[in-house]
Structure 1
């Protein structure tokens, strides 16, 4: 069943708001009736319920508002300008060569440009040059061979199957190479629909399209070499500010803690993905990482400060129920929360504002920390974290940059391995590999869809079936289902919108102008709101083909038919060589525990001169394993009910792993004497947890409870380790 509310947030907010307001006015009616009957108890009940609803509705509106603001903040200038660049790069050859009377050349160049534009991921100059050479060699070859196979159904089916399997396996070489491989398969399906007469001419047109687009893209990166990196840093800065604001809400006694951990984990996933992108863009850029590159060193310093700031924001001194209970009766909670929000705003806007106000709040916290009781000691720890956070915010904003690092080459260790590593490819060539299973599944699915096409021999739009299968298929069941729903909703809206434009105006000029606008929206929302992107490309296709081919009703019906067929086949195909995330959870938990143990060890033995490099490496590995685990947990919750496992205990263990990581981060940021001997019993405890996790099975794990109300016990890393061991014990 289609869950429309998850696809149309506007409908969701409208229905929830309508329900809240209806019930609100019902409660007001209860108050009125109570007053008429002179029944005070009756009126009081209505008043309390309606007041609580207003507060709940206000909280929901604030939360949704923050999510919308964060979305539009992330949808920055680069996405909009890139979408405009891609749209113009497609439209210009169409206009020129149609005007010159060469429609086949125009369509071929536009097809090559459209497809390679979707594979042009954020990157530095070396990334884009590597992608350009690969696409220039691969795209024309795929186009020519596909045309040569069009006359034989069996040969074409085998070719599409082999091509899909081999190119989908290239995802082991990295995102960019995998994207070029995927778009090459899509090019093959476009070729089936275009059915060109000459293989060599068509291949040459595609070649020209790829060359044309990369001339535009490479010219842009030569003029603005740090454009993608600057954008990634800005996006990560806003995400970190959002994480700090979420943390500040934990110090508000009136803010509920329900849902806090889920929002926290989702933000952690976004921030970690941004960190990985920043490391790849910066550390693999030979120009930026040259010893004489002052700008590169400044950006490196800013990146390090931003990642260190994330560690400060992730640091956990105690859980929020304990903090609220211990600091109750003083204004320390309000001072800390307001200070964090002030710093988050400074980080987000990139300027120092309300400096005097922040100084005043910190001065008040200093006075509250001057004591020997438990409350003063706790405020002192939080104050130290706050000061370090402020220093890092100033570094990120460029007020206290330190330029240069004598060991700049050591940072190459932070880059995740990408490129043509044939040993890695051979390692993935087994039936247990998720990449291998997905490549094999998609290859079989597309080969079968090619055979189905010949059931509709006179239908020129049958290629939409394999095209739909490619764009909606994902390795796991949950993402595939979500992508299918988004595709169907976007297609239905796009068909309605496209038909509306056709009815509204008979002018081909206006119809093509609308098509260009919808093509622009396709690029704008492709990576953020796919249903909007699907709506845009559907409307653009309907309008363009109606102008070029005519018969708009046939276009509308075929688009709907083949979209529904492709989505249905895509969902059922996930059970062919399925990839169940629940079966990976135990191994992922073991990796998280090992990474946290190594992080704890490196923090314990680190000294100022030599140890921080290893601490940062260990921290990166710990954050990455937590991100992979969190993503697998989210995917496990979307699997079919008959395959889904009970995740109650696993969620608690996941939370404990995050707490353990946060406590280690607090140790790292607050350790004054780094040469002090470490506590061996903590490392021994982690070793016992790892051994117990390996011996136990996920269905036998048990939850030990997590307090969401006031707690009288402080959070210590030894206590978290004990809880972890208890969860794994039968």
Structure 2
């Protein structure tokens, strides 16, 4: 691991930037209040600032602003209602039920409002029994409102000063994730790769890339300054993001039959050289990502052309020594791998050139795309969408019931006098943080929360016990807060660890010398909340991941059919626009990532709920390969008329038929006899004849050492093009057999054909 690069990634990331902004918005007013001796009286001010800051998710300015305004309004209403009702214990349980269902159900309008809803329940936990707020309802509510508005003002000022900062950081993060993706793929070329583990890691990385691309797409395409303004920065950011999407496709096209490549060339050092070169390219991508995140100019770390030339020289040396008529096809495959690697290298070189464009050229850059078509539509705030989800068929409604039951039970337990808790807020806050719609996520966060709380409590106890200097404690408090907000979305256990430390230190600042009680309360409350969340997620209207398998499989199957159809139409010069092709590519990648994500969650479900796990795993792997091979096919710069030796019409019918058979089985449709016949078509290719003639030439004629990296023979292109089509068909057929092996009683709406 290159620690210098990792440190630069962290220091320039959106996460640390956002964490510092929220932390300073909390700490600066706290320091001023503490200076005048008012912090204890007005501590709800920085607390409200932190809550509103946590709802500020990455995205377009208007959506972020509207969500913050809605959060402020929701928090204020909850604070006032909870403060009034705390004097009427008989109304507290109905209050919990109504607020829990409403604020969970608003998640139907997207993740942004789901975050507002969750934090609104946290506000309810703070105000529900008045333990932290006191008896002056008007004063505490207004202080809380002022702290909420303060963060909104900070947001508006920062957005005005740095309108492009968030987009640049998110685009940079895309390149960092692509660098990680290429680094994983490079491991296929080193000695004795663990193919199954690497494929699983690559699929997980695809999920990360997909999620990030969706967030970035919304931010970039919905930010008016980037789309409409003809400034250098706006055009370059747009181009950099579009280049990252194209680069992602090129990385997918580098998919090969790695087992076969290792079998043929694993004994040579050349594959290791390829792996090392790809690792260096991944570092170049990280370098680009860091430059975008920090807003600086990116300069190549190495001379890519020289490194690539060295790789080609090694290839030519190996070819001269080892190539013969028997392994001609293997060397053609290796040559085409180099061609794909060259395409990735050229893309990276082009991206570096973009950074050095002058202002006039930057302003002339135009993509010609309708950006609105590439952004997922956000649900409109209408009552029909909201009310239609009040059904046990709705996963969100079932989650709302679980949240409600858990909060009611948690509040009830907190009233047990023998436990000596005396308050409920931390139990309720922990339940809201842990309990998620998916059982697997709840189980995972439960363990992380417990580990983070215990370890953080021990460290915080040690800090307060051994360190008496208030300035040092304040610095540690600030660092813990920043690191907590930094890791909140990516490394939850670490976030909880630092959260526990800064909560301990904060309470010590408010009430010095109370560390033993804080330690006992935090650990006990977390254990109780974790137990409640786990029991509720398991027994109360659980939604197991295997129940969603069929829907995700259907979507992925259909997306791959559309993707192949668009790629083939584009290749055959049929009437299809580039934008339409890119939309089908986007849909295929998103549906593949959703399927993979569902499979990853299913692994954490109880064993008795992991239905047909092995078959689903095979379906995920084959779907990944089909999408990757279609991407490889789509990267040919020429069109079908340039390759008359291949019967593309027959391959189109043959592959489409096989993909269609899988889709028909998944959708319980009768399979047409014509499709069965089309899947058995034997394309009338003449590539094998040309290969045989070339083998004879190698035997009969002297071999010429041609060393032209930019030249790839027509026969090599033909051989690899046919090989890609064969791979798509073979994997599609394998996937169809996987689907046929699924039992009807497991996938209740599915039948064998």
Query: TM-score scaled to structure 2, two decimals?
Result: 0.80
| Gap regions ≥5 residues in structure 2 | 289-298, 643-647, 670-722, 742-753
> Comparing 68-77 with 322-331, which one deviates more in the overlay?
68-77
| 1:125 counterpart = 2:87 | no
User: Which of 101, 120, 133 is the equivalent residue of 1:165?
Assistant: 101
Structure 1 equivalent of residue 117 of structure 2: 181
Aligned partners of 2:618 and 2:735 also within 8 Å:
no
Aligned partners of 1:91 and 1:110 also within 8 Å:
yes
| 1:685 counterpart = 2:658 | yes
- What is the Cα deviation at residue 512 of structure 1? 4.2
Mapped to 1, the partners of 2:460 and 2:263 lie a distance apart of: 58
Shift in CA distance, 124/608, structure 1 to aligned 2, threshold 3 Å: farther
User: Which of 387, 391, 398 is the equivalent residue of 2:342?
Assistant: 387
- What is the Cα deviation at residue 300 of structure 1? 1.8
Structure 2 equivalent of residue 708 of structure 1: none
| 1:666 counterpart = 2:677 | no
Shift in CA distance, 258/83, structure 1 to aligned 2, threshold 3 Å: same
- What is the Cα deviation at residue 103 of structure 1? 4.2
- What is the Cα deviation at residue 88 of structure 1? 2.2
What does 1:107-256 align with in structure 2 at a 5 Å threshold?
A: 107-192=43-128, 193-256=131-194
1:448-492 per-residue CA deviation (whole Å, 9 max, x = no partner) reads: 333333334985543211111111111222221221111111211
- What is the Cα deviation at residue 96 of structure 1? 2.1
Structure 2 equivalent of residue 333 of structure 1: 271
Structure 2 equivalent of residue 414 of structure 1: 374
User: Which of 390, 413, 437 is the equivalent residue of 1:475?
Assistant: 437
Mapped to 1, the partners of 2:189 and 2:467 lie a distance apart of: 57
Aligned partners of 2:125 and 2:424 also within 8 Å:
no
Aligned partners of 1:93 and 1:106 also within 8 Å:
no
Mapped to 2, the partners of 1:246 and 1:262 lie a distance apart of: 10
- What is the Cα deviation at residue 359 of structure 1? 2.5
Aligned partners of 1:128 and 1:218 also within 8 Å:
no
Structure 1 equivalent of residue 619 of structure 2: 653
Query: TM-score scaled to structure 1, two decimals?
Result: 0.83
> Comparing 637-646 with 560-569, which one deviates more in the overlay?
637-646
Shift in CA distance, 265/67, structure 1 to aligned 2, threshold 3 Å: farther
Counterpart secondary structure, 1:106 = coil
User: Which of 440, 445, 454 is the equivalent residue of 2:406?
Assistant: 445
- What is the Cα deviation at residue 71 of structure 1? 9.2
Structure 2 equivalent of residue 49 of structure 1: none
User: Which of 416, 428, 431 is the equivalent residue of 1:466?
Assistant: 428
Aligned partners of 1:481 and 1:571 also within 8 Å:
yes
> Comparing 70-79 with 365-374, which one deviates more in the overlay?
365-374
Structure 1 equivalent of residue 676 of structure 2: none
> Comparing 515-524 with 218-227, which one deviates more in the overlay?
515-524
| 1:531 counterpart = 2:504 | no
Shift in CA distance, 257/67, structure 1 to aligned 2, threshold 3 Å: farther
Structure 2 equivalent of residue 723 of structure 1: 734
Mapped to 2, the partners of 1:630 and 1:316 lie a distance apart of: 20
Structure 2 equivalent of residue 309 of structure 1: 247
Shift in CA distance, 317/131, structure 1 to aligned 2, threshold 3 Å: closer
Aligned partners of 1:347 and 1:397 also within 8 Å:
no
Aligned partners of 2:186 and 2:274 also within 8 Å:
yes
Mapped to 1, the partners of 2:216 and 2:75 lie a distance apart of: 29
Mapped to 1, the partners of 2:67 and 2:641 lie a distance apart of: 47
| Gap regions ≥5 residues in structure 1 | 1-64, 697-712
Counterpart secondary structure, 2:72 = helix
Mapped to 1, the partners of 2:193 and 2:468 lie a distance apart of: 56
> Comparing 511-520 with 366-375, which one deviates more in the overlay?
366-375
- What is the Cα deviation at residue 131 of structure 1? 2.2
Counterpart secondary structure, 2:607 = coil
- What is the Cα deviation at residue 661 of structure 1? 0.6
- What is the Cα deviation at residue 256 of structure 1? 3.6
> Comparing 252-261 with 587-596, which one deviates more in the overlay?
252-261
Aligned partners of 1:248 and 1:337 also within 8 Å:
yes
Mapped to 2, the partners of 1:695 and 1:476 lie a distance apart of: 28
Mapped to 2, the partners of 1:384 and 1:427 lie a distance apart of: 52
User: Which of 403, 413, 416 is the equivalent residue of 1:455?
Assistant: 416
Shift in CA distance, 190/259, structure 1 to aligned 2, threshold 3 Å: same
Aligned partners of 2:569 and 2:576 also within 8 Å:
no
- What is the Cα deviation at residue 495 of structure 1? 2.0
Structure 1 equivalent of residue 389 of structure 2: 428
Aligned partners of 2:411 and 2:424 also within 8 Å:
no
Shift in CA distance, 498/330, structure 1 to aligned 2, threshold 3 Å: closer
Structure 1 equivalent of residue 463 of structure 2: 501
| 1:564 counterpart = 2:530 | no
Aligned partners of 1:366 and 1:383 also within 8 Å:
no
User: Which of 30, 36, 42 is the equivalent residue of 1:94?
Assistant: 30
Mapped to 2, the partners of 1:543 and 1:406 lie a distance apart of: 52
What does 1:336-415 align with in structure 2 at a 5 Å threshold?
A: 336-350=274-288, 351-352=299-300, 353-354=302-303, 355-362=305-312, 365=315, 368=319, 373-399=328-354, 408=368, 410-415=370-375
Shift in CA distance, 243/508, structure 1 to aligned 2, threshold 3 Å: closer
Shift in CA distance, 608/288, structure 1 to aligned 2, threshold 3 Å: farther
Structure 2 equivalent of residue 79 of structure 1: 15
Report the RMSD for the aligned CA atoms in angstroms. 2.9
Mapped to 1, the partners of 2:46 and 2:341 lie a distance apart of: 54
What does 1:598-617 align with in structure 2 at a 5 Å threshold?
A: 598-606=562-570, 607=573, 611-617=577-583
Aligned partners of 1:464 and 1:563 also within 8 Å:
yes
Mapped to 2, the partners of 1:70 and 1:591 lie a distance apart of: 37
1:369-410 per-residue CA deviation (whole Å, 9 max, x = no partner) reads: 999931343234323322321222123334487856666461
Aligned partners of 2:133 and 2:140 also within 8 Å:
no
Counterpart secondary structure, 2:195 = coil
- What is the Cα deviation at residue 335 of structure 1? 5.1
1:39-69 per-residue CA deviation (whole Å, 9 max, x = no partner) reads: xxxxxxxxxxxxxxxxxxxxxxxxxx48997
Aligned partners of 1:124 and 1:228 also within 8 Å:
no
